[in-house]
């Protein structure tokens, strides 16, 4: 049941697209890798484009078991000690997580 790989030109992934999504994803893409990544993204998007051939489903999807109204009561649970909260922080100062301006 291989998915139908269609190669229509519906979705073109451009260098600018990749730069933009990299910025949104907070990832650096070095200039020299940009073309390669654009090509690879194009391949994956072509692959994803297979769903355009699917019947227009109107089933909709809410959540797997159609669960609703799962709540907790408004009761205070003791918080964690600040030392625990900061335990894994790469840097901390004065009981705060710290991000120095440069390193």
Partner 1 sequence: MGTIAKIHEMLVGRQISCAELTQRYLDEISAANGELNAYVCVTGDEALAAAEAVDKKIAAGEEIGMLEGVPMSLKDNMSTKGILTTCCSKILTGYKPIYDATVWELLRDKGAVLLGKTNMDEFAMGSSCETSCYGGAANPVNTAHVAGGSSGGAASAVGGNLAAYSLGSDTGGSIRQPASFCGVVGLKPTYGAVSRYGLIAYASSLDQIGPVAKTVEDVSLVYDAICKPDKRDSTSKGGSETYSTLNNDIKGMKIGIAREYLDGVRDDVKEAVLAAAEVYKSLGAEIVYFDLPILKFALPVYYIIACAEASSNLGRYDGIRYGYKTAHYNGTHDMICRTRSEGFGGEVQRRILLGTYVLSAGYYDAYYKKAQNLRGTIIKAFNSAFESCDVILAPTVPMTAFEKGHAVSDPIETYLTDICTVPVNIAGLPGVSIPCGFNAKGMPIGMQLIGKSFGEAEILNAAYKYQQAAGENFKDTKWGVKL
Partner 2 sequence: MGCEAVKYELVSGFETHIELQTKTKIFCGCTTQFGGEPNTHCCPVCIGLPGTLPVLNREVVRFAIKAGLAVHGEIAEVAKMDRKNYCYPDLSKAYQISQLYAPLIIGGYVELSNGRRIRLHHIHIEEDAGKLIHQHGDTYVDYNRGGVPLIEIVSEPDIRSIDEAKEYVERLQQVMRCIGVSDCKMQEGSMRCDVNISVRPEGSETFGTRTEIKNMNSIANIAKAMEYEYDRQVDLIESGGKVVQETLRYDDATGTTSSMRSKEDAHDYRYFRDPDLVTINIPREEVEALRAELPELPADRCRRYTDELGLPEKDAQLLTKYRRISEYFDAACEGVKSPKTVSNFIIGQIFRRTETESDKERFEVATSPEQLNELVKLLDSGKIRNNLAKSTLEKMLDSGKGALDFISESDMGGVDDGALLELCRAAIEGNPKAVEDFKNGKEKAIKALVGNVMKNSRGKADAVAAEAKIKELIG
- The residue ranges that bind partner 2 (CB under 8 A) are 20, 23-24, 26, 62-63, 66-77, 79-82, 85-86, 93-102
What residues numbered 15-54 form the site for partner 1, per CB under 8 A?
Answer: 17-18, 20-22, 24-28, 37, 40-41, 43-45, 47-54
CB of residue 6 to partner 2, shortest distance in Å: 25
Indicate the SS3 state at residue 35: helix
Q: φ, ψ for residue 81 (rounded to 5)?
A: -60, 145
| Nearest to partner 2 of 8, 59 (CB atom) | 59
Rounded-to-integer distance, Cα 99 and Cα 80, Å: 22
Rounded-to-integer distance, Cα 18 and Cα 34, Å: 8
């Amino acid at each position: 049941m291989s998915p139908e790989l269609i190669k229509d030109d519906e979705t073109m992934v451009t260098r600018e697209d990749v730069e933009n999504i990299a910025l949104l994803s907070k990832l650096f893409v070095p200039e020299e890798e940009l073309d390669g990544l654009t090509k690879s993204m194009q391949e994956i998007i072509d692959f994803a484009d297979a769903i355009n051939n699917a019947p227009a489903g109107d089933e909709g999807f809410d959540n797997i078991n159609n669960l609703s109204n799962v709540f907790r009561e408004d009761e205070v649970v003791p918080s964690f000690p600040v030392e625990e909260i900061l335990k894994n922080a790469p840097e901390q100062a004065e009981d705060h997580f710290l991000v120095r301006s440069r390193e």
